[in-house]
Structure 1
């Protein structure tokens, strides 16, 4: 996938900070938009004269559009290259966010968020494919780790800032701010070098693999099983941990929000361990990290009954999740060399399927038994992922 990145540097040369900054800004935009609506449901519902359940459907519309787009449109980066895809998707994302801000009724907001989801389904695979291509075999985890910090920024700064803006100036202004960030990112991407030319009418076009064709490549299916278990455990547990934390210690929303900040801080700090991934090899480390994630879930429920222990475990949870996500994306890109957009599309589609399945399935456990059952089920899912990761690692050399 070397021709995906705009003028990728020679092997061993660190990519420019400007390009990485643009990729981080794009992740922040996608992440902040994806996470924004949940904490401001009441404000948006009040403005449209409806209930929060109705507005929550907007989140579902966004997730479904992202998953479908990632499955069928993610090969754009393989076909056209990073620069045109990054420019086009960030421009459409800015339009979708501006439309969200100006929506006169909730169906218009839902339509705008579906457009944002379609865009995110193309943008995220392009970001991840570009990051792994820029880093190469020697620096892949380090470059990807820096780009993944965009999610930590969304958690630690983006979502709290958007909530504060909503309190001060209204929820529409929060979407305006995100639209401005997306537009600025688009302008920055326009200044990127064009990268290698493509023969869109020749054999290159025929060689662009679809996501479903990429699924048949050795190792891809097993890593997607890891992805499904990993993400279902996370999103299923994350959906209820805030409520469980508040109930355990009788906390208000603001204080309980420190749990999310601790998670985001741990997620960001884990990027410091990226050189270790490059040195030891992601295939060797991923099964061990999945076991560590299962261990975090096993201690999460009792940890919620003490404020310091809850924040400490949240930070550790963020760290191991960052490492797991980094290694998954890195391994998938290596298993599908030359089809980075397609395989990252599969990754995004599976992730957003987990966004739907995790809360749905673990919600039954939460209602019927409690958060301990949720955390236990998440641990079991992570262990299944560890077995799949170990089976994948046994087929490849350590560097893969």
Structure 2
């Protein structure tokens, strides 16, 4: 009889609808992603408007990344005391102001400064979103909930990047930042309506690197660093390879980004499998799958069609990898999710900077295939770190998962 009751409970949990707040958080991710990914397509128009060059304009993107990493490292730790929802509202409001300043920028230097502020806001917003996703997830549907939230990156990549180019052509590049600012204000309003229970820390916010002492955090952050360095290193130079290596038009870059985004989003349909199998089992498999994708890119990269297929599978594998990474990190200590996810975001953007910087000379001197093989090695490192077992870490992680399921 007890087994029947447990089976019924699991079935009921699996059938429970996702909370509306999960979709609000998806929109919040889409807003941040639209800004972080939207400057690239409109950079030539922005450069012409200012009488500058594309590399100078893209300095604003670098400033955004720097601001995000620094903010995630030093400010996100306060999420645990103040609350993820409140911090997310404040961060999105600041992001909206920074976007308005971007739209009104009279010169490139002001645009760079405003995107630095946008990065500071995003560095707090992203950990708050991931912490909130874990908090609102119904028991037994953590992966599905986080997976839905992560599709915000797909929305920003498929819709946000495409619409930004259209707005820049039809209206003006300034309209792009204005539109995203309006969406940010709308997200703040939606967050004011919805509420959810959070586990707040009772102690003062720890110093950033103190979170490394949490059992299980170090190997997962190492996996995150290797994972993100491989992704940004390959994604950053994929367009150049398509144009100069395969002789494809510039439009092929947009097509590749869209194919990746569709693959990333399509994987959300399978997130229930993660809840059934378990994040710890799926994570190394997802990273090994991404490793295999990079190897296939190295072997089949001379064919544009084969490369697009690999990019689609790349999106699938990376969705699962990111999903289970967030699941495992947020399960380590529910009362310190903000601090942990702040470290995760800091590692993500620092690894993105390092990957882009390191893969540039590699791509130029040794070519696309060798870059793909180096990315494959990084994914093997990520898989090993993900599979690393430590008695204390496993016990604490399981305890975190049980606390989530009892909320």
After TM superposition, is the score higher than 0.5? Answer: yes
1:309 aligns to 2:309 (yes or no):
no
> Closer, same or farther in 2 for the Cα pair 1:196/1:334, shift >3 Å?
closer
From 232, 238, 243, the equivalent of 1:241 is 238
**247-256 or 388-397, larger mean C-alpha shift:** 388-397
Matching residue of 1:165 = 167
Alignment of 1:99-118 (within 5 A): 99-118=101-120
From 220, 225, 229, the equivalent of 2:222 is 225
**386-395 or 66-75, larger mean C-alpha shift:** 386-395
1:324 is displaced (CA, Å) by: 0.2
> Closer, same or farther in 2 for the Cα pair 1:159/1:392, shift >3 Å?
farther
Rounded to whole Å, the distance in 1 between the matches of 2:163 and 2:390 is: 41
Aligned length: 386
Rounded to whole Å, the distance in 1 between the matches of 2:281 and 2:311 is: 25
TM-score, length-normalised on structure 2? 0.90
Q: Which runs of 5+ in 2 are unaligned?
A: 1-11, 402-407
TM-score, length-normalised on structure 1? 0.91
Runs of 4+ in 1 over 4 A off after TM superposition: 10-17, 194-198, 397-400
Rounded to whole Å, the distance in 1 between the matches of 2:301 and 2:180 is: 33
1:196 is displaced (CA, Å) by: 6.6
Alignment of 1:176-191 (within 5 A): 176-191=178-193
Rounded to whole Å, the distance in 2 between the matches of 1:371 and 1:289 is: 23
> Closer, same or farther in 2 for the Cα pair 1:12/1:255, shift >3 Å?
closer
Alignment of 1:1-400 (within 5 A): 14=16, 17-135=19-137, 138-193=140-195, 195=197, 204-206=201-203, 208-392=205-389, 396=394
Q: Secondary structure at the match of 1:339?
A: helix
Q: Secondary structure at the match of 2:52?
A: coil
Contact kept? 1:76, 1:122, Cα under 8 Å:
no
Q: Which runs of 5+ in 1 are unaligned?
A: 1-9, 199-203
Contact kept? 2:19, 2:137, Cα under 8 Å:
no
1:136 is displaced (CA, Å) by: 5.5
> Closer, same or farther in 2 for the Cα pair 1:11/1:90, shift >3 Å?
farther
